[in-house]
Structure 1
Amino acid sequence: MRTLEYCHKTSAETLQLLEAKTRGLSSEQAATKLNTVGENALPEAQRRSLFTLIIKQFNDFMILILLAAAAISGFIGDVQDTIAILVIVCLNAIIGAVQAFKAERAVAALKKMAASKAKVIRDGAIRQIDAAELVPGDIVILEAGNIVPADLRLLEAEGLQIDESTLTGESVPAAKQPLELADKNHTLGDCSNIAFKSTVTTRGRGNGVVVTTGINTEIGQIATILHTDKDVQTPLQKRLSLFGRHLALAILAICAIIFIAGMLQGQPIFSMLLTSISLAVAAMPEALPAVVTISLAFGARKLIQHHALVRNLPAVETLGSVTFICTDKTGTLTQNQMTAESFVGANLAPVFSSDSALQQVLGQALALSNDIIINTDTPAGEPTELALFNAALAFGFDKKQLEASMPRLAELAFDSERKQMTTLHQGTEGVVAFVKGAPEKVLQQCTHALGEQGVVEDNFQPDTMLNTAEELASQGYRVIAFAQRTFDHLPATIDHNIEQQLCFLGLVTLIDPPREEARAAVDDCKSAGITPVMITGDHPGTAMAIATRLGINNPTSTVMTGQALEALSQEDFLRLVETTTVYARVSPQQKLRIVEALQYKKQFVAMTGDGVNDAPALKRANIGIAMGGKGTDVAREAADMVLLDNNFASIVLAIKAGRRIFDNIRKFIKYTMSSNAGEIWTLFLAPFMGLPIPLLPIHILWINLVTDGLPGLAYTAEPAEKGVMQRPPRPTDENIFAHGMWQYIIWTGLLIGGISIAAQAWSIAQGQAYWQTIVFTVLTLSQLFHSLAVRSETTSLLSLGLFSNKPMLLAIGLTILAQMAVIYVPAFNSVFHTQPLPLFDLIACFAISMLVLVAVELQKLFLRRKNAQI
């Protein structure tokens, strides 16, 4: 049976099903069961060796094509190009393998959360054993501070509260009780009679019978999901894979045509074979993997400055495609710290708005009626009591000072049946009892109320105040009622009878408040075309209140609960998933279902979270974003990125970085493919115009090396374009050549090829013996001028500024110097078969090559005017 199925079983029925007794199992029974069910341990993911991970990085079509290009380069004698390609490919493989190795530690981190020891009843005696030895039927004893070692059906609970935030998302510790639940439709947060493995006991004590262990526990089910779930390919990986396949086929076809054309022209077979092979190598953008890797690495390094740590490099670019951000509430959008927000008296007026006798008494109650430990540097205790303690301190009521004059004499501890707590203190005029608890319990015991001026109001109407409390609770607040009763002396019997005929003091509302910067971050997401969705295990009213404050939802919208989601068919849910922005009381499996449904609707999903319950969805999402401050190791290991400051606003900066990186990769592809197309058109068209083959194989390889190398890498330093966060996300199935890139590559390639062939024809007509050097130079320089033009699709180079990308200027300068060396250094003349050019002809080469920059700038001017008219 699953753990949740024991919720509606009585204690006796549970013990009978498990063949257990309250005095515990015998050692023999436990040993037999351990052999049957196995150890109480979470499964470990199968670790792959670093060598295996490195080999896996070569399972990419683009990488395989580059390896083939390296082999061909070596075959034709271009060892330098071979080495360059191999270095780039190996570097890319090592970086990818290291990232994959880091990502395989999620379940290992999950195991660290498990308790190592457990206190159990064995053979009728209390013993401490290894938690791994627990079996169904064992009776486990829980005390404050214990990590729950297995899933338990509680048998006894005295003031027991357990922090389940990492599993359910609840911001407040859950009160536990041993009675069966009548309703059989439960979420994790509703199971008040179950203690879940790896949660933490914060208060009280109790015991329970182990119902499930190891992989069968609720946290074990999460571990199973983490272990079996497949990683999702990023948009960039998909686009580049498709790009590599199409490019390889196109290059092979073009090279075959050029080889056949040369043969028909009577060129030597071996010469044409080398030319075709050289062109094939040159046409492949072998710098692309390096540009992609360096762009992602630089982006990741920059994000660290904004407290965002990238664990998986492709995640940097992936953020640019995000259409939905599914965010956990507790600790992500909120501060994960309960805060007292308002104080309402019997007349519905704020208590602490002005000095009054009521303020004095309520302040004393807030400060004294709690079990906060204050003998340490940091006050410690249950979150709700800490919030009340801090509120009292803020209004000038110091517990330590008050206890000196009003020492505690006795107390009635909180329990789940009474739902209230009472402390008795020595006052100046006798003994005062402060009572705090659930409004529906405290108010029914109140017969009068304390007014602002300390006057007792006998006409107090508890029902009216209860309606106010219910209204506040519907707004997402946790509401605590305070009352008091005075005695001449300490009652002889301290029992529930002292909690009668109370004087009502006020209602206190508590909430885990939103982060100050979260609202602006949500607005920024919306302006970028991204839909924020809150997914939490918390109460629906609380979820709706926070969502409305942050602008995730509007007051007329409804919340979808986990129970409602469970009742929906997949078809019905798919109709609602894109318009639902708040989910409450959801289980880990339901979080996963939400992410998968959005992905089925072609949405690109980011998931933020910090708890164990978030880990499966973090891993399944297109990009998982974990919180680094109060987050769990499990969430961090399952995620692609970690926000070190838990700041939701950092996601906006990361999205901007992702969009910039994709833009720059696209600019490089646009530049290099246009340049390569120019080389292909030059070699392809010259023979059909009756001209000799324009270039030698070594010329082609040199052009490819110098133009794709430094200028290509300089695109990684290109700043983000204006308006990058005011446009919608890129569709995930959008081709990398969308928005007119194919057309651009064709016409600019033809332009580069055309001016190169024109320079060849002019030089031959002039009878110049160095005509091949002129074609060689024009083809190189035209690509360098083109690299400046491609820095923006619409903004002019003058507006961008030459110095806004200094690495690009440096790259172009060094490439021109290298080209001049090839032309004018005698040692290189013999290697590259070049001849020095007269100054006039060199100036002519620069002037002709600059036509590419002028043409592209004119096209951008046309686009700007066209866009202004729309």
Structure 2
Amino acid sequence: RKLPAVETLGSATVVCSDKTGTLTRNEMTVRALHDGSAAYAVSGEGYAPTGDITTQAGYGLARPEGDLRLTLLAGLLCNESSLEFDGAQATPKGDPTEVALITAAGKAGLDQDSQHAQAKRLVLLPFESDRGYMASVHAEDPGPVLYAKGAPERLLELCGDDGDPERHQRLHRAAEDMAARGMRVLGMAVKPLSGPVPEHIREEDLHGARVTGLAGIIDPPRPESVDAVAGCARAGIRTVMITGDHVVTAKAIASAIGIGGPNPHAVTGRELERLSDDELYELVPRVGVFARVAPEHKLRITRQLMRRGEIVAMTGDGVNDAPALRAAHIGVAMGVAGTDVAREASDMILADDNFATIFAAVEEGRIVYENIKKVTLYLLSGGFGVLLCIVASVLLGWPLPLSAAQILWFNFVTSALMDVSLTFERGEPGLLERPPRPPSEGLLDAQVLRRMVLVGGLMSAASMWLFQDVSARALAAGADPGDALDKARTMTLCALAFFQFFQAFNSRSLTRSVFVLNPLGNPVLFVALGTAVLLQLGVVSLPALEWVVDTRPLTWAELGLAVGVAASVVPLVELDKLLTAWSARRGRRRA
């Protein structure tokens, strides 16, 4: 959405990423159930209700009963999503987590359409991350029933132990076990209501409800996320997971992907709320996972990371993520799951919601910055060389070595195509092995300025020597002073132009020798250079074009001399690159 964000992303030092759908596939499947007494396994793939619910002994349950059935029914009814069938083809509509619960209920013979027809929904309390659960009231016989689903620890806290503390503890342990296996865990609760149906569901309405069981949902990590996180680490970029999932689940997924090492340091939203800004400032460098966080926590995390001087990229998809997206250096909204508000608040939109694409954008950002730097060096070197020629001629009392029209032609033939073609250079080897660029580093660093002075100085000195030499020889041969000046200016124009043609190849890499680069590695530059050379030769060789910039014909020997002198810029830049590399190696040894 905002082009400068590409360059900024290339200097990012921290990427704060959502888990679901970005680091993981967002392909939810219920794999485990627990009814407070026993654990059950769920088989099957995809959204088709084909698969079995089996006991730990391996026996299949065609029609689960008791708390297990109520757990599946709660997941089906307390649900804002749907699963539509066209023959055998299942099409999910809504949140993948909720669709997974519908699919699991179907494996137990609970059909969504018939169940919703039998138990019409009367009241709905939508899910909110700071609340930690959602609830709905349905009309049943003999009376209305409240169903709830959400974070297990939240429901177990609200609903109480239902007079069975041992069962309450078993559910706690089962939730921890599922989370440790990398599952997203949801608890289900049921409460028959007496009296009139409430207009709004309040927190106290859940008091006394029975937590019927748990559902463990697997959302496998994207294979490419593992490589992308490792690539970010090599590039000096730290990846931080920010998720609403249980802390144990988040740590298991983070460890599998490579975030924070084998045992990442994790902080929950509740712990974060107890921290002051200064305490969070001291903590953020060590934390790899923030779990059970609300959108407002993202904003605090972003601010403290930025306060530490980090360049922060923050992902988000919800309406409440907008403040954090705006506060970060680079706000990254989800293109598939993101809301319009999140997209408007962001600097860039992730079209496929894939973390690997963020890593690819980091690489592209670094390439863009490097290429801008190359173009800047190329243009400044040529401009500085021409400027020195003009200034030197004025100080020496010589005629100007170029006319106004020739200066315009020089800018056209060396800049109109050549500078644009340098932006097509591919990334250099090791680009993603370098640490992020410091924010304070500008385009005109010491390397660019030094090389600009070296190249510009050589261009000016050599061109002025050719100008004086050609002028003196023409006058000695009896030429008219005006003709001698025109020929000397033509020679100067050719020399300066050929200097820039060679400098274009020098500028393809700021550090690598031109002799190790593939000459055809940038075909756009090759075509642009060929076009520019033909134009320059045409304007000094074809009588029909000489009037354009007031040039005079040059012999092949004179053109050869101009090319030979201009080629001297190649060994000069090669020497500078060699000394720069030597100095860098020496600095690393001392460090």
Q: Same fold (TM over 0.5)?
A: yes
> Which residue is 1:616 aligned to?
323
1:721 matched to 2:428: yes
1:359 matched to 2:72: no
Aligned partner letter, 1:836: P
Task: Identify which of 464, 471, 488 aligns with 2:176.
Answer: 471
Hey, what's the Cα distance between the residues in 2 that align with 1:675 and 1:669? 10
Q: TM-score, normalised by structure 1?
A: 0.51
Contact 2:316 2:333 in 1 (8 A): yes
1:324 matched to 2:14: yes
1:682 matched to 2:389: yes
Hey, what's the Cα distance between the residues in 2 that align with 1:771 and 1:380? 76
* Deviation sequence 1:369-419 (CA, Å, 0-9, x none): 4246777444779966643453576xx766569x9xxxx9999999999x9
Hey, what's the Cα distance between the residues in 1 that align with 2:273 and 2:160? 35
Q: Greater shift after overlay, 763-772 or 774-783? A: 763-772
Give structure 2 stretches of 5+ with no counterpart.
44-51, 126-132, 141-146, 190-208, 476-483
Hey, what's the Cα distance between the residues in 1 that align with 2:302 and 2:264? 21
After superposition, residues 460-609 of structure 1 pair within 5 angstroms as 465-466=170-171, 468-472=173-177, 475=180, 477-478=184-185, 508-554=215-261, 556-609=263-316
Contact 1:321 1:731 in 2 (8 A): yes
Task: Identify which of 455, 459, 470 aligns with 1:752.
Answer: 459
Hey, what's the Cα distance between the residues in 1 that align with 2:540 and 2:369? 37
> Which residue is 2:348 aligned to?
641
> Which residue is 1:632 aligned to?
339
Hey, what's the Cα distance between the residues in 1 that align with 2:83 and 2:390? 83
> Which residue is 1:220 aligned to?
none
* Deviation sequence 1:738-788 (CA, Å, 0-9, x none): 251111111111111122122223324434522222112101111111111
Shift in Å, 1:568: 3.6
* Deviation sequence 1:496-549 (CA, Å, 0-9, x none): xxx99xxx9x96523555444333322222221112223344444444444333
User: Secondary structure of the residue that 1:510 maps to in structure 2?
Assistant: strand
Change (3 A) 1:828 1:661: same
User: Secondary structure of the residue that 2:529 maps to in structure 1?
Assistant: helix
Shift in Å, 1:354: 11
User: Secondary structure of the residue that 2:520 maps to in structure 1?
Assistant: helix
* Deviation sequence 1:400-451 (CA, Å, 0-9, x none): 69x9xxxx9999999999x9999x9xxxxxxxxxx9997968997899xxxx
Contact 2:267 2:287 in 1 (8 A): yes
> Which residue is 2:507 aligned to?
790
User: Secondary structure of the residue that 2:216 maps to in structure 1?
Assistant: strand
1:854 matched to 2:544: no
Q: TM-score, normalised by structure 2?
A: 0.73
User: Secondary structure of the residue that 1:327 maps to in structure 2?
Assistant: strand
Change (3 A) 1:384 1:442: farther
Shift in Å, 1:333: 3.0
Hey, what's the Cα distance between the residues in 2 that align with 1:676 and 1:816? 19
Aligned partner letter, 2:61: V
* Deviation sequence 1:19-76 (CA, Å, 0-9, x none): xxxxxxxxxxxxxxxxxxxxxxxxxxxxxxxxxxxxxxxxxxxxxxxxxxxxxxxxxx
Aligned partner letter, 2:356: A
> Which residue is 2:558 aligned to?
841
Shift in Å, 1:553: 3.0
1:802 matched to 2:502: no
Hey, what's the Cα distance between the residues in 2 that align with 1:861 and 1:343? 65
Change (3 A) 1:334 1:414: farther
Aligned partner letter, 1:829: E
Task: Identify which of 84, 93, 100 aligns with 1:387.
Answer: 100
Hey, what's the Cα distance between the residues in 2 that align with 1:592 and 1:379? 32
Hey, what's the Cα distance between the residues in 2 that align with 1:337 and 1:639? 25
Give structure 1 stretches of 5+ with no counterpart.
1-310, 425-434, 448-460, 483-498
* Deviation sequence 1:786-843 (CA, Å, 0-9, x none): 1111101222334322211122122222222222232223354345332111121111
Shift in Å, 1:331: 3.7
Change (3 A) 1:613 1:552: farther
Contact 2:34 2:171 in 1 (8 A): no
* Deviation sequence 1:619-643 (CA, Å, 0-9, x none): 2222211111121111112212212
* Deviation sequence 1:210-233 (CA, Å, 0-9, x none): xxxxxxxxxxxxxxxxxxxxxxxx
Contact 2:27 2:96 in 1 (8 A): yes
Hey, what's the Cα distance between the residues in 2 that align with 1:518 and 1:363? 39
Change (3 A) 1:363 1:316: farther
User: Secondary structure of the residue that 2:367 maps to in structure 1?
Assistant: helix
Hey, what's the Cα distance between the residues in 2 that align with 1:464 and 1:563? 21
Change (3 A) 1:549 1:613: farther
Contact 2:451 2:573 in 1 (8 A): no
Aligned partner letter, 2:310: Q
Contact 2:367 2:426 in 1 (8 A): yes
Aligned partner letter, 1:715: L
Change (3 A) 1:825 1:638: same
Change (3 A) 1:632 1:348: closer
* Deviation sequence 1:543-598 (CA, Å, 0-9, x none): 44443333323465543344444444433333333333333444444422332332
Change (3 A) 1:344 1:701: same
User: Secondary structure of the residue that 2:379 maps to in structure 1?
Assistant: helix
Q: Greater shift after overlay, 580-589 or 735-744? A: 580-589
> Which residue is 1:177 aligned to?
none
Hey, what's the Cα distance between the residues in 1 that align with 2:423 and 2:388? 28
Contact 2:30 2:42 in 1 (8 A): no
Shift in Å, 1:699: 2.1
Contact 1:577 1:597 in 2 (8 A): yes
Aligned partner letter, 2:313: A
Change (3 A) 1:822 1:468: same
Identity of aligned residues (%): 37
* Deviation sequence 1:311-367 (CA, Å, 0-9, x none): 122222221111111223344334456432335797879687998775312774678
User: Secondary structure of the residue that 1:360 maps to in structure 2?
Assistant: coil
Task: Identify which of 314, 317, 329 aligns with 2:4.
Answer: 314
Hey, what's the Cα distance between the residues in 1 that align with 2:20 and 2:160? 28
